[in-house]
A and B are shown apart, each in its own frame.
Chain A
């Protein structure tokens, strides 16, 4: 029996699967997935909306000095605490407001109390609103950058921020965080940005 098998194998050419067409099939599939692929991660500016107030409930009181009011109209004109300003000035104004530590009596008492409120007109273009919101966030980002670099909280009695090591920027710190890890910088130095209640048009 084994002799018979051996004989047959030696007689014929070795059988093989034709692999030439395989590449074509794979290429076709590859091109399909290449075309349909979008490897984009959603990016954007994260916000948390204030919870809905009950009809008899008043918004929580904020002291006048702790509140920085930013208003934008349809033409892109900006008012910061009722004064004319430009979009580019908002970042510095916001940083001064947050990092005042009670020094200037018209600015915030402490970073934890500081609130920045953004109000838009009904006809304000969305891009203008995002520009303003971005500037306010960047003010906080710059403060966080400093915390990440020095591992110290800003202010006259700035203690340690409790980071394990310093980082070159906040973004670098943020990127190395694990999915379940707490963002320590934001825990010790939070951002209070509020979207003002729109006018009801009455």
Chain B
């Protein structure tokens, strides 16, 4: 009985799972992620643990944003010192910020400066940066922060 069954199955063509449509599915997922991906272009050298807040707004237009990171340096000889990073470079002279921001504002008049400040930083450095931004006339800012607690459903 058992051998008969076995023989019958071996005699017919081998059942095969069609993999032809698998690439289609995978490609669809791939295209989704390719479109949604933003490759991290800057190497952040300072720690920025963002504060939490409730009254948040979203910035949909990513191209308007220019990020300013403020926080303790992660590694290197000055590790732990609070530093400012714009784009890829740490800012040595804080008075240079106005020039950098002024140049950015010329390129993008609707510039939004997103301040990514570590929650343990002191206000003196934030105030200094804000004064520099005022000098450059880059007045639209955003205090980057995360939502409190679990995200709403």
Footprint of B on A, CB under 8 Å? 19-20, 22-23, 26-27, 29-30, 33-34, 36-39, 41-52, 74, 120-127, 129-131, 133-134, 137-138, 140-141, 174, 179, 195, 198
Assess the A43–B144 pair: CB atoms within 8 A: yes
Complex Cα spacing A118 to B58, Å = 23
- Chain B hits for A27, CB < 8 A: 26
Q: Which of B22, B40, B62, B123 contacts A126 (CB 8 A)?
A: B123
Interface residues of B in 54-70 (CB under 8 A from A): 54-60, 62, 65
Q: By DSSP majority rule, is chain B's interface helix, strand, loop, or mixed?
A: mixed
- New contact pairs (8) apart from A23-B26, A44-B53, A46-B59, CB-CB < 8 Å: A23-B22, A43-B144, A45-B55, A124-B123, A126-B121, A126-B126, A130-B119, A179-B60
Assess the A43–B147 pair: CB atoms within 8 A: yes
Number of interface residues of B (CB under 8 A): 56
- Chain B hits for A127, CB < 8 A: 51, 119-120
Assess the A138–B54 pair: CB atoms within 8 A: yes
**Given A29-B30, A52-B134, A127-B119, A37-B36 contact (CB < 8 Å):** yes
- Chain B hits for A138, CB < 8 A: 54-55
Assess the A41–B139 pair: CB atoms within 8 A: no
- Chain A hits for B142, CB < 8 A: 42, 44-47
25 A-B pairs with C-beta separation under 8 A:
A19-B19, A23-B19, A23-B23, A23-B26, A26-B27, A33-B30, A34-B33, A37-B36, A39-B36, A41-B60, A43-B58, A43-B145, A44-B115, A48-B139, A122-B124, A123-B123, A123-B124, A124-B122, A126-B117, A126-B123, A134-B53, A134-B55, A174-B57, A198-B124, A198-B127
Assess the B130–A134 pair: CB atoms within 8 A: no
Assess the A30–B33 pair: CB atoms within 8 A: yes
Complex Cα spacing A46 to B53, Å = 12
Closest to A17 in B: B20
- Chain A hits for B58, CB < 8 A: 41-43
**Given A43-B144, A43-B147, A50-B134 contact (CB < 8 Å):** yes
Q: Which of A45, A125, A174 has the most CB of B within 10 A?
A: A45
Assess the B57–A45 pair: CB atoms within 8 A: yes
Assess the B122–A123 pair: CB atoms within 8 A: yes
Q: Which of A26, A30, A45 contacts B56 (CB 8 A)?
A: A45
- Chain B hits for A121, CB < 8 A: 123
Complex Cα spacing A173 to B21, Å = 43
Complex Cα spacing A46 to B145, Å = 10
- Chain A hits for B124, CB < 8 A: 122-123, 198
B2 within 8 A of A: no
- Chain A hits for B57, CB < 8 A: 43-46, 174
Complex Cα spacing A33 to B28, Å = 12
Assess the A42–B55 pair: CB atoms within 8 A: no
- Chain A hits for B56, CB < 8 A: 43-45
- Chain B hits for A124, CB < 8 A: 122-123
Q: Nearest-CB distance from A165 to chain B (Å)?
A: 22
